[in-house]
Chains A and B, each alone.
Chain A
Amino acid sequence: MTGDVLIEVQNLSIGFTGRSGKLLPVLRNIDLGVRRGETVGIVGESGSGKSTLALAMMGYLKHGLRVISGQSVFDGRDLLTMPSRELQRIRGGKIALIPQNSGQSLSPNLRVGAQLTEALALHGKLAPSAFSARVIQLLQQVRLPDPEVIASRYPHELSGGQQQRVAIAMALAGEPEALLLDEPTTGLDVTTQAHILELLSDIAVRFDKAMIYVSHDLGAIARVCSRVVVMYAGEIVLDGDATTVLTNPGHPYARGLLASIPRRGNPDLPMALEGRPPPPGGAGPGCSFVDRCAIAEAPCRAERPGLQPLLAGGRVRCRLPERAESIPTKRDGKPASAGGSFGEPLVRLSNLAISYARQSLVDQLLGRKPQGVPTVDRVNIEIRQGEVIGLVGESGSGKSTILKAVAGLVGPASGEIAYDKSGALPATVEQRRPEQLREIQLIFQNPDESLNPRHTIGQILAQPLQLYFGLSGGALRERSIAILERVRLGAHYLDRLPSQLSGGEKQRVAIARAFAAEPKLLLCDEVTSALDVSVQAAVLDLLDQLRRDNGTTYIFVAHDLAVVRALSDRVAVLYQGRLCEIGPAAAVYSRPCHPYTEALLGAVLEPEPGARPILMAEDNMELSPPAKGCPFQRRCHRKVGSICESTTPPQRDAGAEHVIHCHIPIGELTSAQTVSALGNAGRPHVQ
């Protein structure tokens, strides 16, 4: 049930003074009302102004920002002009924030209990004697096990999921009328995210609060919200009920965004939304989306469209909402480069084990190996020439560690990495031959950190070209330009610095640098996870194109199963550094599958209204992999019995190179409930 309007943002524009001295708007003429009991999602890519809008709803402006026009009214009063003493009463007491990164948003020097008590004391609805009981009750409400223990912990002693729950409990402490969620699950593992979203939608229903959910992730929004607002370049471009916005939106941007999201069940590449939004103050007199719009006409450039009501309900900022519906929201079915026949094996990981345990001084003197369970163990993977193999798993699954071992950044504790025809690769970069170094290239997750900020793009590309091919002068320049064009950037990028490029362009430069070495094997470590979805689609498309042109072999590491699906021929699922399942992508993403794969797939959030994830055992903090038995034994929802704790699971052959490491026979793994059936089963089951 929705009630009267609680939060009302009226014609709000917020900006900052740019280096030129001009006032650059971050938000432009925002009009948005949120009613009691309503759950509104605000979605947009980085730089769209969604977080600025959310914080403005609490009367908070980040350093350097100021109000150009408008109001942010809460319960009849403008928060942006309110004296700070009164604001303090409203913040936390009437409207509370659940922040993005709880690990950093909880004060590191105070115990969880003390921080919750502080919130209770500030908004004094209880007698101090009742505080400690209420703290326990709040921690129970967010479904934390052992609330007494958690209350006595410091924030850093909790897992990411537990920290997020504490932040939610803290927001609930002041019994606010509205909850503001700023990317509350970004940065959490998919399985943890599923738990938190489940909790949040439960809170929304149970406490009947107004909820504003800010996220870049349409999947998460679909899970929690009944109404969705789409932001682009500081404007609201679309506002409507969740089902319409997520399935058949009336704005070209929203449609392009939907099409750019890779989906678990679809093996095709997502469609890229080319171009990028105008910077603050950079929008022309017309529509801000006009440069990327497929149906733009001359009048779209001349005049900025207003936010007009739609017949079917909701509002849209587009002159041609009817024509927008001709833009596809699903992919046109461009498949990733076909798998099938591949060449000779290029890389073979045999019985690979990697340990980060450091030798103590005593161990070194006695020549003892470090004690403890290795981070990665018993990994056997054969990768053939021209193949793309995806490694998936949550954080701590060892996928990046394996990549580092192949790159020669960490040495294996035992086992070997055989490469091409030359046999075992030397363990570290220092011992490898120049030819091997050239042939194996690595692309990192975050181009901001992997590109030297003081080198121009030309200098960055020149390094591999000089080092491996001895190019210089005109030949070097010519080659650099050719490589830039291959990643769809032009010669004019040569003299720019990384800071002058957008995130997607920077990642293209990183890809160009790797391809400049003409590698045989490309190691991709979460290369798209720092990018916006629309940009991610373009990068995936580029990687696919380059692979087709050059016959390069990829090891593609990502936590996002849908992204891996879109690019990979084969997929290996890892849990705590042990292989759970490996096989052709289509086979791994369907039945039969390992219980962990099942849980992972079930936790993937699709931007479909009504989709519900399956939840597996609580996101316990696991310090190290179990010494014996199956790596997944502690969280498995299909545990057979003590055999799972004592014996390493056998390799079960599911046909066509599909291998599952599990004690459950293939037949039974097939016959279980399917993920999609679970997805429609209404309330998910929690083991």
Chain B
Amino acid sequence: MLRIFIHRLLLGIATVAIVSGIIFAAVEALPGDACTAILQRDASGERLANCRRELGLDRPAATRYAEWAFGAVRGDLGISAHNNKPIASLVGDRLKNTLLLAGCSLALGIPLALFLGVLTGLRRDKFSDLALSTIAIFAMTIPEFVTATVLIFVFSIWLGWVPGIVTASASSPLSAFFPGIVLPVIVLTMVMTAHIMRTVRSSVIDVMSSDYVQMASLKGVPYWHIVFRHALPNALLPAINVIALTVGWLLGGVVVVEKVFNYPGLGHYMIDSISDRDLPVVQAIALIVAAAYVGVNLAADLLAMAFNPRLRTLKARSP
């Protein structure tokens, strides 16, 4: 178990290292650099050369990559080309906001999705299943900006219950985001719930028709006992991976939703940085998002292992 954990951890670190190289190379390949961004129209001749010398951009790419990578490991992501502030604190604020948004959506969405998935799976082909499954398909297929717009129209313009956009700045304390965060959380919850619920539903249906559930019922085990003891521990395993993907998606910055609600999260900041040609920031965000994906998937694999005795213990029979 520990060996597997260390193995996976090393593999994860290697992945992030390779991704960091690709990100650096991609940004390097773009025309222009931090100095052209800072100097804008004045970026030519003597001034450009001076700026590059000052920022160390005249050195070979490998040296700069090494410097950037070691800095990133120490938590130093460089200086924003846009406003000369340390990227670590700029991105840190946004990351905190994104974590708040993701955390609220997950806290609401995961229990809801699991409950609905189990319910529809157990009530397969009955009215409640058909109704909820249809709603789920709608929630999944309608684009977020449509849902967002409709919700803003109904709840903030028409009913006036909650604000339609977030007005707090990126560095405000977390409490400042309430109640503006309510609508974006609802939009995100709708999309993710539908995905997880459908996975759970089909997995519950599979497990409930398995031989061991039939056996349990022929052993005289009461229905709810079968559901909670024999079926769900096995049926919920596939949900772990879908949840991991969802978490990765939420942490990667849900660009459209953040933009619509003016929520100062990572995705929003990423778009702003791209339009400002603030390449060091783009580079830093890309790295953080990649690391988050790798981390979440690692956590999901370990969770799956912890809950599935077949993965946890040694495979007993040779193939």
A: residues with CB less than 8 A from B are 55, 58, 60, 63, 84-85, 87-93, 96-97, 99, 101, 104-110, 118-119, 122-123, 154, 156-159, 170, 174, 356, 396, 621, 623-624
- Verify if B318 is at the interface (C-beta below 8 Å from A): yes
In the complex, the chain B residue whose C-beta lies closest to that of A625 is: B318
A154 in contact with B310 (CB, 8 Å): yes
Q: Which residues of A contact B222 (CB under 8 A)?
A: 85, 88
Q: Which residues of A contact B209 (CB under 8 A)?
A: 63
B172 to chain A, nearest CB (A): 46
Bound form: Cα–Cα A176–B211 in Å? 21
A110 in contact with B229 (CB, 8 Å): yes
Bound form: Cα–Cα A624–B223 in Å? 42
- Verify if B215 is at the interface (C-beta below 8 Å from A): yes
A109 in contact with B233 (CB, 8 Å): yes
Q: Which residues of A contact B308 (CB under 8 A)?
A: 108-109
- Verify if B230 is at the interface (C-beta below 8 Å from A): yes
A99 in contact with B310 (CB, 8 Å): no
A-B contacts, 17 listed (Cβ < 8 Å): A55-B218, A84-B223, A91-B217, A99-B215, A107-B212, A107-B213, A107-B234, A108-B309, A109-B234, A109-B308, A109-B309, A110-B230, A118-B229, A156-B317, A158-B316, A396-B318, A621-B317
A118 in contact with B221 (CB, 8 Å): yes
Q: Which residues of B contact A88 (CB under 8 A)?
A: 220-222
- Verify if B141 is at the interface (C-beta below 8 Å from A): no
Within 8 A of A (CB), among B277-319: 307-310, 313-319
Within 8 A of A (CB), among B133-153: none
Bound form: Cα–Cα A432–B317 in Å? 34
- Verify if B9 is at the interface (C-beta below 8 Å from A): no
Interface centre among B218, B222, B223, B313 (most CB of A within 10 A): B218
In the complex, the chain A residue whose C-beta lies closest to that of B318 is: A623
B: residues with CB less than 8 A from A are 209-223, 229-230, 233-234, 307-310, 313-319
Q: Which residues of B contact A108 (CB under 8 A)?
A: 212, 234, 308-310
Which one of B219, B309, B316 lies within 8 Å of A91 (CB-CB)?
B219
In the complex, the chain B residue whose C-beta lies closest to that of A92 is: B220
Bound form: Cα–Cα A538–B118 in Å? 48
B220 in contact with A107 (CB, 8 Å): no
Known interface pairs A101-B211, A118-B221. Does A107 touch B230 (Cβ–Cβ under 8 Å)?
Answer: yes
A91 in contact with B211 (CB, 8 Å): no
Q: Which residues of B contact A85 (CB under 8 A)?
A: 222
A93 in contact with B220 (CB, 8 Å): yes
B234 in contact with A89 (CB, 8 Å): no
Given contacts A55-B218, A60-B214, A156-B315, 9 further A-B contacts (CB under 8 A): A97-B218, A99-B218, A107-B230, A156-B309, A156-B317, A157-B313, A157-B316, A158-B316, A356-B319
In the complex, the chain B residue whose C-beta lies closest to that of A60 is: B218
A175 to chain B, nearest CB (A): 12
A91 in contact with B310 (CB, 8 Å): no
Which one of B210, B216, B218, B219 lies within 8 Å of A104 (CB-CB)?
B210
Q: Which residues of A contact B316 (CB under 8 A)?
A: 156-159, 621
B215 in contact with A105 (CB, 8 Å): yes
In order of increasing CB-CB distance, the 7 nearest A-B pairs are A92-B220, A91-B220, A104-B211, A105-B215, A92-B219, A109-B233, A157-B316
In the complex, the chain B residue whose C-beta lies closest to that of A156 is: B310
Bound form: Cα–Cα A396–B212 in Å? 26
In the complex, the chain A residue whose C-beta lies closest to that of B226 is: A107
A119 to chain B, nearest CB (A): 6
A154 in contact with B220 (CB, 8 Å): no
Bound form: Cα–Cα A299–B186 in Å? 74
A113 to chain B, nearest CB (A): 13
Known interface pairs A154-B309, A154-B310, A156-B316. Does A174 touch B234 (Cβ–Cβ under 8 Å)?
Answer: no
Q: Which residues of B contact A105 (CB under 8 A)?
A: 211-212, 214-215
Bound form: Cα–Cα A104–B230 in Å? 12
Q: Which residues of B contact A84 (CB under 8 A)?
A: 223
Bound form: Cα–Cα A319–B77 in Å? 92
Bound form: Cα–Cα A624–B315 in Å? 13
A170 in contact with B219 (CB, 8 Å): yes
Bound form: Cα–Cα A122–B317 in Å? 31
In the complex, the chain B residue whose C-beta lies closest to that of A396 is: B318
Bound form: Cα–Cα A99–B217 in Å? 12
In the complex, the chain A residue whose C-beta lies closest to that of B316 is: A157
A102 to chain B, nearest CB (A): 9
Q: Which residues of B contact A158 (CB under 8 A)?
A: 316
Which one of A89, A92, A101, A118 lies within 8 Å of B218 (CB-CB)?
A92
